């Protein structure tokens, strides 16, 4: 019995690594834009049931995305130093196990959506799943798969508005666009880490597409993301805490420039991970603004 329990634990450990639950940065980068939308759409007072459903759904869909990503890249990852020991690539988990795990995670996420009882959100969950499942394959033919990732990672924004107000206003789509620019920025930093390996195996990334203009492109995308978020905030008459949050985010982005300009892989990866604080700063500005002002827009 003890031997069997050990085997179960080992299997669960492998599944945890396949879902990258041991590396939560992806969950956070997916979660922050969703929280921005939940707070803005609910005048700073989101329904707590809706909030928890979206938080849990974020964890499930990011986990599912990691599984299908490793399934799609299993023949490429063995040629990349950073990814060659991933469970699927290393042969510790079978492709059948990966697909079953992806299906189970996706069904659990869909079950959460059903709990909302909102037809619009239920219908929007279909393209959300398609985006998550198809993103890994876009690296074969899109010059900027990071832009596609931005849509996939930001689709929680229109879904959050749909869950809170039953509609998707223009501001939600503008926030989604801002998230696309932010995702291109941070995932280009990520792609700069593996650029040499990706060139060898034929994977397309923004770091390769931008070439020697990669650092400039990252900073321009950062600026575009902040500019769009600031414009959305101005249309909603948000106050100084919101702009203070954006200012902090801008300073963090400036720090990232000092890290990535030398194009050293370790520094670029550090900048990528540090984007958690960019998302957190924007959210803090939004949340504090509603707390301080007590304003409502509904």
What mean pLDDT is predicted for residues 195-214? 86
> Mean of the per-residue pLDDT values for the chain?
91
- Tens-digit pLDDT profile for residues 38-77: 999 999 999 999 999 999 999 999 999 989 988 887 776 6
What mean pLDDT is predicted for residues 101-128? 94
Q: For position 6, what pLDDT does the model report?
A: 72
Q: For position 290, what pLDDT does the model report?
A: 95
Rounded distance between C-alpha atoms, residue 298 and residue 288, angstroms: 18
Is residue 80 left, alpha or beta, with left meaning phi > 0 and alpha meaning psi from -120 to 50? beta
Q: For position 48, what pLDDT does the model report?
A: 93
Task: Give yes or no for residue 91 having a pLDDT over 90.
Answer: no
110 Cβ contact list (under 8 Å, min separation 6): 125, 129
- pLDDT class for 298, splitting at 50, 70, 90? very low
Record the pTM: 0.92
Q: Per the structure block, which two tokens stand in for 114?
A: 């059903």
CATH topology of domain 2-293: Tetracycline Repressor; domain 2 (1.10.357)
- pLDDT class for 2, splitting at 50, 70, 90? low
CB count in 10 Å sphere of residue 8: 10
- Contact present, 105 and 64 (Cβ < 8 Å): yes
Q: For position 4, what pLDDT does the model report?
A: 72
- pLDDT class for 139, splitting at 50, 70, 90? confident
Q: For position 216, what pLDDT does the model report?
A: 97
- Tens-digit pLDDT profile for residues 223-274: 999 999 999 999 999 999 999 999 999 999 999 999 999 999 999 999 999 9
- Tens-digit pLDDT profile for residues 169-199: 999 999 999 999 999 999 999 999 988 877 8
Q: For position 295, what pLDDT does the model report?
A: 61
- Residue ranges of domains in the chain: 2-293
CB count in 10 Å sphere of residue 124: 20
């Amino acid at each position: 019995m003890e031997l069997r329990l050990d085997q179960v634990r080992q299997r669960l450990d492998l599944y945890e690594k396949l879902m990258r639950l041991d590396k939560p940065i992806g969950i956070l980068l997916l979660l922050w834009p969703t929280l921005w939308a939940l707070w803005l759409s609910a005048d700073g007072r989101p329904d707590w049931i809706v909030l928890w459903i979206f938080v849990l759904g974020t964890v499930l869909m990011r986990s599912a995305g990691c599984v299908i990503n490793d399934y799609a890249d299993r023949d490429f990852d063995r040629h990349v130093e950073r990814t060659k020991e991933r469970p699927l690539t290393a042969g510790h988990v079978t492709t059948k196990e990966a697909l079953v795990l992806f299906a189970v995670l996706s069904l659990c996420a869909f079950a959460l959506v059903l709990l909302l009882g909102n037809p619009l959100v239920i219908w929007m969950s279909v393209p959300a799943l398609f985006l998550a499942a198809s993103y890994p394959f876009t690296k074969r033919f899109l010059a900027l798969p990071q832009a596609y990732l931005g849509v996939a990672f930001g689709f929680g924004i229109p879904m959050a508005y749909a869950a809170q107000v039953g509609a998707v206003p223009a501001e939600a789509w503008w926030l989604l666009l801002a998230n696309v620019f932010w995702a291109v920025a941070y995932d280009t930093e990520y792609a700069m880490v593996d650029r040499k390996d990706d060139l060898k195996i034929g994977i397309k990334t923004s770091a390769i597409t931008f070439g020697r203009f990669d650092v400039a492109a990252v900073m321009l995308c950062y600026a575009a993301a902040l500019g769009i978020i600031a414009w959305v905030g101005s249309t909603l008459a948000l106050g100084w805490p919101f702009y203070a949050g954006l200012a902090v985010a801008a300073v963090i982005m400036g720090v990232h420039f000092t890290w990535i300009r030398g194009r050293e892989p370790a520094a670029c990866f550090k900048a990528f991970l540090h984007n958690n604080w960019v998302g957190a700063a924007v959210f803090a500005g939004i949340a504090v603004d509603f707390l301080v002002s007590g304003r409502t827009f509904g």
